[in-house]
A = this chain, B = another copy of it.
């Protein structure tokens, strides 16, 4: 949601490095325009649904090429609005294009449609089932990934792949970038049968909630805070016809260093510190809780963390608001009775801040709400534990997360198994001897988790299966071949994987 403007102010683009307004991007979208865009999205969805999988794949690839073709200008805008720096943003453009191309590959593969044929038997008629697009989708991007989780990000790419038109709510922290990206997407879509209304954009918080409330919208993709995500979930659940909200809402991402691996503490500490500081700590996969053993080996890891995190320069965060919230959160942790401040942050010019590191004993972790709340930004809380059983108990009781990481030696497989068993119930991705930042865009990715990491534990917002969020099944009984969609015609003209009479068949 992000926009702090009132209902009548225009939408302004602000430079977080200075706090200055650089430009006015647009007026807030009025109710009449919202209604018109929703109607246009219904029409565009019908055209997307009528396109072949291959044509939709080409459209996504054209969108990827359009982003890459305008890379310099887009990175300029994004850097001015996010302060994330050109190298990171340049990489994010590549990642976003890769993501669009992954969904093109998903379409060409065709298994996503789950085409299933049961031929007639003595007991039952011919029945054929496939997944089709759910309908127009509302997308709310994130401040921390202005490309990859925003207007052209995974929600938009997977929704378009599914055959659903998208209405983007421009993010208050990067409205100029969203405007520029949506213009490119509309242009690319306009050169296909889908037409440019396959993607549109609205500005302002009221317009965003009006889109979610509109009866023509069939699903919502959201990346951001738990507060805003839950607000959208409640709004969608209260509609006359409730719709799913796929909200990815951030996470504590526990990271455990076992007693054995603490022996190689210096190397692990460097890895952890870099992960905490990456992108200003503004990743939903940032390791926020670092479990280190009591005793000398753990002490050495703590010292190494303090040294590396304490040596960090000030970092410009995404906005001055985010910096202020970060400073408040880190101070609240440091001030709680049982915690100790290891590195104390300080605010700099504009949105800048230096990192924070605090420490608490495992027995005191649940003593104060701030200790188990996400602190968005370059901060982590070290938790000192005595036994693996204590760590397992804490994992059971912590709010659910996107990820959990464990550093361990080969000989500690019992400890890893115990931690992984507990984590399987509470997170979406479990990492052995690695950190949670760095989310590959591929077929096996899982970026989600039980509530409150995500609105629903059943889906992912990254990776090929993210398309499943925007699909619904339909079955055709006793249809003649010519009246069936190509995916279900007897000869398998698309050559896609299908389940026929109970057997999964690949290579048509």
Pick out which of these stretches binds chain B: A58-66, A355-363, A387-395, A428-436. A428-436
CB-CB under 8 A from A125, the residues of chain B are 431, 434, 440
CB-CB under 8 A from A471, the residues of chain B are 458
CB-CB under 8 A from A483, the residues of chain B are 413, 416-417, 420, 432
Residue A337 lies at the interface, judged by CB distance under 8 Å to chain B: no
Q: How many copies does the complex hold?
A: 2
From B431, B442, B460, A473 is in contact (CB under 8 Å) with B460
Q: Which residues of A, 477-508, contact B by the 8 Å Cβ criterion? A: 477-480, 482-483, 497, 499, 501-502, 504-506
From B425, B459, B474, B499, A428 is in contact (CB under 8 Å) with B474
Chain B, residue nearest A399 (CB):
B241
Q: Are B127 and A444 in contact, CB atoms less than 8 angstroms apart?
A: yes
Q: Which residues of A, 90-142, contact B by the 8 Å Cβ criterion? A: 105, 109, 111, 114, 116-118, 123-125, 127-129, 132, 134-135
Residue A244 lies at the interface, judged by CB distance under 8 Å to chain B: yes
CB-CB under 8 A from A479, the residues of chain B are 420, 430, 432
Residue total for A at the interface (Cβ-Cβ under 8 A): 77
Closest Cβ–Cβ distance, residue A134 to chain B (whole Å): 7
CB-CB under 8 A from A505, the residues of chain B are 506
CB-CB under 8 A from A432, the residues of chain B are 476-480, 483
Q: A174 vs B433: C-alpha distance in the bound complex, in angstroms?
A: 54
Chain B, residue nearest A239 (CB):
B451
In this complex, which of A124, A416, A443 has the most chain B Cβ atoms within 10 angstroms of its Cβ?
A443
Closest Cβ–Cβ distance, residue A420 to chain B (whole Å): 6
1/0 contact string of A413-455 vs chain B (CB within 8 Å): 1001100100011011111111000101011111010111001
Q: Are A440 and B123 in contact, CB atoms less than 8 angstroms apart?
A: yes
Q: Are B127 and A442 in contact, CB atoms less than 8 angstroms apart?
A: yes
Q: A202 vs B56: C-alpha distance in the bound complex, in angstroms?
A: 49
18 contacts between A and B (CB under 8 A): A105-B502, A111-B499, A117-B444, A124-B438, A125-B440, A129-B446, A129-B463, A134-B457, A135-B425, A233-B242, A241-B450, A410-B480, A413-B482, A428-B473, A430-B476, A445-B475, A446-B475, A465-B473
